[in-house]
Structure 1
Amino acid sequence: MSRTSKLLRGGPISRRRFLTGSLLCAGSLGAAAAVLFRGERGNEPVAPPGKPLYWVTSNDRKIGFDDLGNVVALQRDDIPLPLAPRRSGLSLHDPVSSERLWVSGTMRAQRGAVVQTARLEGMGFSVEAVYRFLQDDTLEVDGWVADETGRDRVIDLIFSVPLTLDGTSWQPSLTEPRRLTSSDAAPLQQHVPLALVGDIGDKYDLAFSIPPDHPVRFEIQPDPEGEAFSVRLKFGLSPAAGGVLRSRAPFRFALDILPAGAGLRFALDRYYARHTEVFASHVRRFGFWQIAPRGKFTRPQYYAFHETGYAGGKARSVDAYERNDGWGLDEAAGVYTLAYTLVGQAEITSLAELPTDYDASMTALDEWNAPANPFGGPSPRLPNSYTDVDQHKAIIANCALHVSPNRLHLVRRTTAWGGNSVTFPLNPSPELGSLSPTIARYMLDDHVPLLLASASVDGVYVDSLEAWGNFYNYRRAHFATARIPLTYQADRRQPALFNTFSHQEYLWELRERLHAAGKILMGNGVSESRAFNGFALDVICAEQTFESVLNNEPLLAYYRTIARHKPALLMIYDGWEREQDVARLWKWSLLYGFFASSGPQNASYVTPVNEVRYQDRFAPHLIRLASAGWQPRTGVSTADSHVRVERHGDGSHFFLVLYNTGPSVSLVTLQVDHSVVLRSGAARMRDVLSDEEMNVGILSGSKSQVAADEIRVLEIWETVT
């Protein structure tokens, strides 16, 4: 039995319960990785780093390397910035032998850039890295690491900047700044591919980032004791991989040298600007996520994104699907109708009994028979779509993940929709070569075009990105066509495909086709380990609980960070009878601009009373905030750390949301950064929730009283002085 299937024994499960099991598995692997990172030390240099001989230059930034590849000089505006006298730059760490070797090799200058090439004969690796500044003066490091032994290998590529970190500010997310001491074991960032160390010698900030279109398993972490700020990329190398990935992994990351005190939000704003296409919003309307026809909801006017399939499984044609699922109601209301699809698994359901072991499961697959199921979705007995049972089995044969040679990953489970079932995680990459049929080719070439033939369909919904992306695939035939580098599982340390990245390849292809047709892409299961999947979506969704949301502000900040202006939607099934929790949920929703709603789990669903009450009070304001667009740089701050501040809208007309998370009333003094908002300094203001107009004149220095656990939404206009 696979490790994951053991987590899932014990009775019928919902979509959310499977998701929770997967998160537990992912969390344990992340913890193991964190221990590995913190417990390691690099080899100390025999001699101190040398003088800067090779310079990478831009208009106002410079980085200098010595002849061994050490980072020995940083400059901003021609001002030297402090560094620690430590070995630094590129290194390789072998997770199997725990050996770490610094990369030296040959350094050469090349038109403002520096190229480093090295063969590490003792480890059997070669490396090339090109260091250059981009137009916005961010240092980009672009290169590859390759195996030269012809064997399967796993390797961590690390780039370190030598820093004295005592007293600096570690900022891995919007909500978790932390002052470091020399004895700290700082938490790593392995979810959002950007993190910053600030106030380095009171001279500058440094931020590492990874481009949103270069998925990789990564860790960003300061090491105060080892005096290093590092990014680590985790690769698997195999001769079974194809093309540029044969025994090789390309990499790309960036280092942003910023003014002291600039902070993570400033770095994040620059990150968005470097990747405008990824973070551009393609929706014209905002609202809640619905998984039933509009008539099921008490306040349908607040819903904007319809995940179809609630009644679609009863249909045998697109016309019947459209009638059953209420697509015409969506069309009349201007709601996005997003056709349900599931590409990460295929299952056999309604078995007489649950198979007891692997062999019994494979026998059940051979013997299983069922009629065609043209439209999958949440409500039918089978969520998969297929034209006949032989096609369904062939897709499993061609796309199933392998846990070992010729042994399929599978999950034996009992679910509310399928009863006794065996579920096979699938590789949904469109790049599986000559294999046919595959789930990607069936979806992209047959099923999705069939759905889009309806004028009512505005795009596609992809389900369960977290649950089925959580597996590692050791099927060597699949290595040959991967577009994203291989990686490895912490407890196996062998090259593998991470199925999250195989989903990524599918999402890229689907999004390109949808955007060409003026359609959008919505995906569910965007957990904390699925940021790169989230970057590929137009609408980001996840199923959560009140407990996971209300006690986890970093999770909410994570969704806002990866979405930027895109809609971030949460589905919470249970707990709406607890009015205090509903009230707190709405305050966080207004602060970070996300939409949380309940969802039908059966035909008797009625919108919870508390949900309707708070929708009537707050939903119109939330829709305005989302339409204005969240901004990473607030431009307005307070001295009270309990009072959260977020801005939605541009610098001359915007909404400022204040939420006092502290235990007592706070008289907040607003401090304005006029380089970000209100350049003239003068403003008028309206309290949106009380509809009170306040002509404040000069906003900076004005005071606002915020009670404990109170949320205030201020609409602010710049006025001419």
Structure 2
Amino acid sequence: MSRYPLAAIWNQSVGLALALDMAQPAQYRFVYHPATRQFFLAYDLALVKDTARFPSRAEFRLVCFRFDPHWGFRAALQKFYDLFPQQFVKRVWREGVWMPFTDIAKVPGFADFGFAFQEGAPNVAFDDQHDIASFVYVEPMSYWIALPSEVPRTYAAAMQVLTNDLGGARSAEQQAMAAATFNSGIHTSDGNFSLYLVKAPWCDGGVFTLNPDPDLPVTDTLQFTKASVMHRDIAAAFQRNAPAHTNQPHAGLDGVYLDSLEMSAAQLNYRREHFRTAAVPLVFDREARPAQLMIFNTWEFARDIAAQMHRDGQLMFANAVLWNYAFPAPLLDVLGTEVNWLPRGEYLPDSDAVMNFRRALCFQKPYCLLMNTDYEKFTSERVERYFQRCLFYGVWPGFFDQDAASKDPYWASTKRWYDRDRALFKKYIPLFQRITAAGWHPITLATCDNAQLWLERYGTFGQGAGYLTVFNNTTQPQEGVIVLSDANKTVSVTRSVKELLSDTPLEQQGSGWKIRLEPESVALLEWSP
């Protein structure tokens, strides 16, 4: 499947793009064949009678449009936003850092860190007092089953534990999840449930892959699906955290957090009884057997919850999103993922291609990172490099835990890593707040005579302050001259330009401004109104 929901070709006189309507996803591929000069969008669809909504049919929507070739793919992106504005609505009232699980009230001097989004909602009243959005946690596509230590780690033994749980052998919650697993568990090509035996810090046993389709039916003996369990838990969390004073803005829970959104995304579900309620066209495997692609089932659940949340003025937050799939993004208001930029002790940030994909599909919505690494080796110097790279893309930097394995949680560690890095937060968070409030735009309205200096734009230069972030991704110092322009004319050079990290004005050179950047460093330029 193609990563982006659009593709574009252009020459000096015209640009042509094909794009998917992300409100109606399917398995798709964009192709350009230079030898035959063919540019097309291909869908891979399996047609079966079992799909009750569209028996032996498949529906899809696409658009073909022209765009200004002067700005290339960036202009195609802007036209895409213009064609589907409802898919890029920014609903959050403020942006900031993502806090996973830890009660923000327990972080001394918490205001220094710019928290805006709380995963897990441990202290909703505190979050309300400090304008922090809190989210109830669910993971749509999984059931992590804890197995007793004496139980063999085999498929048959795990299924027997699940059967015993269905009969009430353990807790009521495990009984409900057993019913949900028998109802919602996906099947592999051999007809077995999809089960991965694992010993994780949070579960010693296994994980079943479940279909969270909200339309899967229940039976008299199996009275839960994964979707119905999550609906129950979400409703209970909102009721439990209902504010006493309803006139307080954003009081109570602010939305739903979907963990691990792309988990099991590429798995195939061969369980034909699940085909009946499918809302997305089926795919096929190499033997031409029809199946459901799991990311589409997760998308169906996210769409269902998003409709409820947005109707009620609430928000959607998801983790592990915008790695490989674009179409969930329109359903979400806060997007993010966990990363480790220090594998095996080597500093390896996410690629420009990955960061561009995230920024492009969010448009002006917030995207947040959680750094899961060895914080002793991820020194203050590396933290600043992390902050600088994130600043270039307007992506919020954050922290969680070493290897996400309860080894050394950044915000709860006795080593108080946040105190070591507090000065960096105080330096950079106000800069993030400036540019994200101004809003990212794909068309930079600027060029640089050195291609090694990358540019991104925030805000408009016509009204209010305008910003450019400039990044040197090389291992050598780079110099260049930046010129602001549109397709026809150069913007006035009479406006003052300041580099905000150093708080120094830029030297004018001809019709532009001269800049020099050290290796892997960023500049933030502000054009005053």
Q: How far apart are residue 676 of structure 1 and its match? A: 9.8
- 8 Å contact kept, 1:355–1:364: no
- Candidates 502, 516, 519, aligned match of 2:311: 516
Q: How many residues align?
A: 494
Q: Deviations over 1:581-609 (max 9, x none)?
A: 32322221111011121114367523355
Counterpart in 2 of 1:536?
331
Check 1:239–1:535 CA distance in 2 against 1; reply closer, same or farther (3 A cut).
Answer: same
Counterpart in 2 of 1:496?
291
Counterpart in 1 of 2:17?
207
2:484 paired with 1:672: yes
Query: What is the alpha-carbon distance in structure 2 between the residues aligned to residue 544 and residue 676 of structure 1?
Result: 41
Q: How does 1:553-702 map to 2 (within 5 A)?
A: 553-576=352-375, 577-579=377-379, 580-600=381-401, 601=406, 605=413, 606-608=416-418, 611-652=421-462, 653-674=465-486, 682-693=494-505, 700-702=511-513
Q: How far apart are residue 299 of structure 1 and its match? A: 5.2
Paired residue secondary structure (2:181): helix
- Candidates 273, 278, 287, aligned match of 2:96: 287
2:116 paired with 1:304: yes
Check 1:468–1:695 CA distance in 2 against 1; reply closer, same or farther (3 A cut).
Answer: same
Q: How does 1:164-203 map to 2 (within 5 A)?
A: 190-199=2-11, 202-203=12-13
List alignment gaps of at least 5 residues for structure 1. Answer: 1-29, 31-189, 310-324, 373-386
Q: How far apart are residue 674 of structure 1 and its match? A: 3.7
2:66 paired with 1:241: no
Query: What is the alpha-carbon distance in structure 2 between the residues aligned to residue 219 and residue 617 of structure 1?
Result: 43
- 8 Å contact kept, 1:198–1:262: no
Q: Deviations over 1:155-179 (max 9, x none)?
A: xxxxxxxxxxxxxxxxxxxxxxxxx
- 8 Å contact kept, 1:597–1:611: no
Query: What is the alpha-carbon distance in structure 2 between the residues aligned to residue 676 and residue 327 of structure 1?
Result: 52
Q: Deviations over 1:416-466 (max 9, x none)?
A: 1122x122111111122455422212323x221221122321111111112
Q: How does 1:84-103 map to 2 (within 5 A)?
A: none
Check 1:677–1:699 CA distance in 2 against 1; reply closer, same or farther (3 A cut).
Answer: farther
Q: How far apart are residue 243 of structure 1 and its match? A: 2.4
Q: Supply the AA of the counterpart residue of 1:513.
A: Q
- 8 Å contact kept, 1:340–1:463: yes
Paired residue secondary structure (1:388): helix
Check 1:432–1:405 CA distance in 2 against 1; reply closer, same or farther (3 A cut).
Answer: farther
Check 1:423–1:612 CA distance in 2 against 1; reply closer, same or farther (3 A cut).
Answer: same
Paired residue secondary structure (2:214): coil
- Candidates 382, 398, 417, aligned match of 2:183: 398
Check 1:550–1:299 CA distance in 2 against 1; reply closer, same or farther (3 A cut).
Answer: farther
Counterpart in 2 of 1:450?
236
- 8 Å contact kept, 1:205–1:262: no
Q: Deviations over 1:52-89 (max 9, x none)?
A: xxxxxxxxxxxxxxxxxxxxxxxxxxxxxxxxxxxxxx
Counterpart in 2 of 1:170?
none
Query: What is the alpha-carbon distance in structure 1 between the residues aligned to residue 106 and residue 373 of structure 2?
Result: 17
Deviating more after overlay: 363-372 vs 207-216? 363-372
Paired residue secondary structure (1:257): strand
2:281 paired with 1:481: no
Largest Rg, 1 or 2: 1
Q: How far apart are residue 198 of structure 1 and its match? A: 2.4
Q: Supply the AA of the counterpart residue of 1:341.
A: V
Query: What is the alpha-carbon distance in structure 2 between the residues aligned to residue 641 and residue 397 of structure 1?
Result: 56
Deviating more after overlay: 339-348 vs 627-636? 339-348
Q: How far apart are residue 226 of structure 1 and its match? A: 3.6
Query: What is the alpha-carbon distance in structure 1 between the residues aligned to residue 382 and residue 523 of structure 2?
Result: 18
Query: What is the alpha-carbon distance in structure 2 between the residues aligned to residue 607 and residue 476 of structure 1?
Result: 51
Query: What is the alpha-carbon distance in structure 2 between the residues aligned to residue 619 and residue 650 of structure 1?
Result: 21
Deviating more after overlay: 655-664 vs 640-649? 655-664
Query: What is the alpha-carbon distance in structure 2 between the residues aligned to residue 370 and residue 611 of structure 1?
Result: 49
Query: What is the alpha-carbon distance in structure 2 between the residues aligned to residue 515 and residue 611 of structure 1?
Result: 36
Check 1:401–1:588 CA distance in 2 against 1; reply closer, same or farther (3 A cut).
Answer: same
Counterpart in 1 of 2:249?
none
Q: How far apart are residue 408 of structure 1 and its match? A: 1.1
Query: What is the alpha-carbon distance in structure 2 between the residues aligned to residue 257 and residue 422 of structure 1?
Result: 50
Check 1:450–1:639 CA distance in 2 against 1; reply closer, same or farther (3 A cut).
Answer: same
Higher relative contact order structure (alpha carbons within 8 Å, sequence separation ≥ 6): 2
Q: How far apart are residue 263 of structure 1 and its match? A: 0.4
- 8 Å contact kept, 1:523–1:539: yes
2:228 paired with 1:228: no
Query: What is the alpha-carbon distance in structure 2 between the residues aligned to residue 688 and residue 677 of structure 1?
Result: 26
Q: How far apart are residue 327 of structure 1 and its match? A: 2.3
2:254 paired with 1:469: no
Check 1:305–1:594 CA distance in 2 against 1; reply closer, same or farther (3 A cut).
Answer: same
Q: Deviations over 1:332-368 (max 9, x none)?
A: 2110111111221123204224644322221121234
- Candidates 221, 227, 235, aligned match of 1:440: 227
Q: Supply the AA of the counterpart residue of 2:496.
A: R
- 8 Å contact kept, 2:45–2:283: yes
Query: What is the alpha-carbon distance in structure 1 between the residues aligned to residue 120 and residue 490 of structure 2?
Result: 44
Paired residue secondary structure (1:393): helix
Paired residue secondary structure (1:546): coil
Q: How far apart are residue 523 of structure 1 and its match? A: 0.8
Query: What is the alpha-carbon distance in structure 2 between the residues aligned to residue 694 and residue 640 of structure 1?
Result: 17
Paired residue secondary structure (1:212): coil
Paired residue secondary structure (1:231): strand
- 8 Å contact kept, 2:120–2:134: yes
Q: How does 1:377-416 map to 2 (within 5 A)?
A: 388-404=173-189, 406-416=191-201
Query: What is the alpha-carbon distance in structure 2 between the residues aligned to residue 339 and residue 304 of structure 1?
Result: 15
Q: How far apart are residue 240 of structure 1 and its match? A: 1.2
Paired residue secondary structure (1:266): helix
- 8 Å contact kept, 1:674–1:681: no
Q: Deviations over 1:466-518 (max 9, x none)?
A: 213332111111111111111134x4532111111111111111111111211
Q: Supply the AA of the counterpart residue of 1:252.
A: R
Paired residue secondary structure (2:4): coil
Paired residue secondary structure (2:364): coil
Q: Deviations over 1:117-146 (max 9, x none)?
A: xxxxxxxxxxxxxxxxxxxxxxxxxxxxxx
Counterpart in 2 of 1:171?
none
Q: How does 1:27-66 map to 2 (within 5 A)?
A: none
2:210 paired with 1:426: yes
Check 1:677–1:464 CA distance in 2 against 1; reply closer, same or farther (3 A cut).
Answer: farther
Q: Supply the AA of the counterpart residue of 1:395.
A: A
Query: What is the alpha-carbon distance in structure 2 between the residues aligned to residue 364 and residue 371 of structure 1?
Result: 10
Counterpart in 2 of 1:708?
519
Check 1:262–1:633 CA distance in 2 against 1; reply closer, same or farther (3 A cut).
Answer: closer
Q: How far apart are residue 672 of structure 1 and its match? A: 2.0
Check 1:396–1:568 CA distance in 2 against 1; reply closer, same or farther (3 A cut).
Answer: same
Q: How far apart are residue 402 of structure 1 and its match? A: 1.0
List alignment gaps of at least 5 residues for structure 2. Answer: 244-251
Q: Deviations over 1:224-283 (max 9, x none)?
A: 234322322221211111122x11111222222234434000000111111111111110
Query: What is the alpha-carbon distance in structure 1 between the residues aligned to residue 428 and residue 295 of structure 2?
Result: 35
Query: What is the alpha-carbon distance in structure 2 between the residues aligned to residue 716 and residue 523 of structure 1?
Result: 34
Identity %: 23
Structure with greater strand percent: 1
Paired residue secondary structure (2:328): helix
